[in-house]
Amino acid sequence: MWRVTIILVLVSLTMAVDKSVIIIGSGISGYSAASRLIENGFDDVIILEAEDRIGGRINTIPFSDGFIDLGAQWVHGQVNNIIYEMTHEHFEFGSTPFVEVPFTFLFSNGTKADQELFRTISKINFDIFLALDETDTFTGSFGEMFLEVLGEVTMNDSFPVFKDLDLKIIETMKENAERFINGYCALKSWFDMSAKLSAQEDEAGGNLHNTWKKQGFKTVFDFISKKLPDPSQHIDIDSKVQLNKKVTNINYNVIDANSKAVITCEDGSSYEAKHVIFTPSLGVLKKYHESLFTPTLPEQKVLAIKTWGFGAAGKVFLEFDEPFWSEEGEPFVAYEFLWLDADKDEAKAYNREWMLGISAFYIVDEFPNMLEAYLGGPKINQFEASSDEKIIEDCMWALEKFLGKSLPKPKAMTRSKWLSNENFLGSYSYPSMDAERAGVGIKELAESINNDNGEPILLFAGEATDEKYPGNTHAGVRSGFRAADEIISSYQ
């Protein structure tokens, strides 16, 4: 008889505490949340993922004789970067020398520009960016602020380079500054980004362009699951992931401590859990928040979803038989394009406007035969809709124009398509003017929804919900850990 009693007590003890968690999305934030939860004894964890692969905006693919990244590529920073901290003692990072090696400036008529002059100008541009990053007293857009400061600098006797400088050159300088910012922050226009809110974000310190060499960003998942550096510590997360499971509704209308949220998928299946962590992009939230959540989300959160920025950036990788970009002895990192009006018009006439969003063609660490282009601006949709043949043709048109000679055809090309993919609808978040005006921000995006007992039921993680480093992979990790910790501490 006593045995039966003990068994009953044990059963009721384990039955009493339902610690089930469903994580929506297997990007770096969802994966990090799962790792932290499982490590803390939460066994009932399921990750539902709409795509047929783990990783989200980390998408490492085989290309040439290694792996390249269509999404996140660099570990941006070393100090205060949680990814760098968990990996660098066990992984020897490479680097793209964007700071160390000066860019090569070319005009679209095939003439090499005065390198000394453009390097000086581009250094001044960069110093203005850095200065703006430190000042959060401006109101207005990043673009307006940049132009205001540049205006002051060009009139200032301490910068003699601007004396007698052709107005056209100053125009080109502004254009290239915007092109760079648009690409870096995934903007259509630099007038869309708030100067004040962007200055409030942090940047991790140290080298900003640490590379995973030929192995790609996917390597980070082995560190998050602790397979690396010590396989005996491995937390099995992959077996918790269900692929091709697109979530269409989350009913979080839980009445009491015993009821659960109900998650419905596109294939008709449904799941129940005590806690739901939602990690899909802000782009997905913008388009689908009304149908995704029952009841509808709180007003302030909806306002933040509608107004906070979510932009699009793109990438092209070209592999050649051999490099044509390194002239003897000259260190090379990137071509920066200085477009002349006639050639901009030609780009427009041939549906190549997307090319005007490319800030540079640059080398790829450990792939000596490869060039990569990064682009932002308003024409990412045209870029993604163009066929692969057209992309190659457009790139070669531009490269031949700027280099002023005919070039060998690339032997392979691959490129990203983040904006047209329904599971992303863009690339990463940015602090918008609209959000500054509405007075809402990351806090509202990140806020959890609790039941009447104060237990978190619906939690939000993902790159856009991290107040310090939004946009970045390390923000993804931090946000996943934050959501997991919130659930864990609700049981303590």
Ligand X SMILES: *[C@@H]1O[C@H](CO)[C@@H](O)[C@H](O)[C@H]1NC(C)=O
Ligand Y SMILES: Cc1cc2nc3c(=O)[nH]c(=O)nc-3n(C[C@H](O)[C@H](O)[C@H](O)COP(=O)(O)OP(=O)(O)OC[C@H]3O[C@@H](n4cnc5c(N)ncnc54)[C@H](O)[C@@H]3O)c2cc1C
How far apart, in whole angstroms, are the C-alpha atoms of residue 447 and residue 349? 47
3-state secondary structure of 27: strand
Give the sign of the dihedral formed by CA 65, CA 320, CA 421, CA 471.
Answer: positive
Task: Give yes or no for residue 337 binding ligand X (CB under 6 A).
Answer: no
107's contact among ligand X, ligand Y, none, with CB below 5 to 8 A by partner kind, is: ligand X
How far apart, in whole angstroms, are the C-alpha atoms of residue 170 and residue 18? 64
Map the footprint of ligand Y across residues 461-490, applying CB under 6 A. Answer: 462-463, 471-473, 476
DSSP designation for 376? -
Q: Minimum CB separation from ligand Y for residue 253, in Å?
A: 19
Number of helices (H) and strands (E) in the chain: give both, helices first. Answer: 16, 23
Which alpha helices (H) appear in 19-165, and where do they start and end?
28-39, 82-87, 115-134, 142-155
Task: Give yes or no for residue 380 binding ligand Y (CB under 6 A).
Answer: no
- Figure out which of the listed residues 19, 21, 35, 57 binds ligand Y, where binding follows CB under 6 A: 57
Name which of 476, 478, 472, 479 is nearest 209 in CA terms. Answer: 472
- Figure out which of the listed residues 156, 233, 259, 453 binds ligand X, where binding follows CB under 6 A: 156
472's contact among ligand Y, ligand X, none, with CB below 5 to 8 A by partner kind, is: ligand Y
- Which of these segments, 20-28, 227-235, 399-407, 451-459, binds ligand Y (CB under 6 A)? 20-28
Query: In 45-123, at which residue ranges do the beta strands (DSSP E only) sit?
Result: 45-48, 60-63, 66-69, 74-75, 94-95, 104-107
- Which of these segments, 104-112, 256-264, 416-424, 478-486, binds ligand X (CB under 6 A)? 104-112
Q: Could you tell me the maximum CA-CA distance found in the chain, to the nearest angstrom?
A: 100
Task: Give yes or no for residue 115 binding ligand X (CB under 6 A).
Answer: no
Q: Give the strand pairing for 314-319 and 412-415.
A: antiparallel
Task: Give yes or no for residue 111 binding ligand X (CB under 6 A).
Answer: yes
Q: How far is CA 314 from the centre of its chain?
A: 11
Q: Minimum CB separation from ligand Y for residue 118, in Å?
A: 25
- Figure out which of the listed residues 12, 14, 158, 406 binds ligand X, where binding follows CB under 6 A: 158
From residue 279 to residue 308, the character string flagging contacts with ligand Y as x (rule: CB under 6 A) and all else as - is xxx--x------------------------
- Figure out which of the listed residues 6, 85, 109, 130 binds ligand X, where binding follows CB under 6 A: 109
Q: Give the strand pairing for 314-319 and 367-375.
A: antiparallel
How far apart, in whole angstroms, are the C-alpha atoms of residue 126 and residue 121? 9
- Figure out which of the listed residues 19, 21, 26, 336 binds ligand Y, where binding follows CB under 6 A: 26
Task: Give yes or no for residue 253 binding ligand X (CB under 6 A).
Answer: no
Instruction: Give 12 or 158: the residue with its C-beta nearer to ligand X.
Output: 158
Q: Minimum CB separation from ligand X for residue 156, in Å?
A: 4
CA within 13 Å, CB half, 377: 21
List residues binding ligand X (CB under 6 A).
107, 109, 111, 152, 156, 158, 340
List residues binding ligand Y (CB under 6 A).
24-30, 48-51, 56-58, 71-74, 76, 246-247, 279-281, 284, 313, 315, 416, 418, 423-424, 427-428, 462-463, 471-473, 476
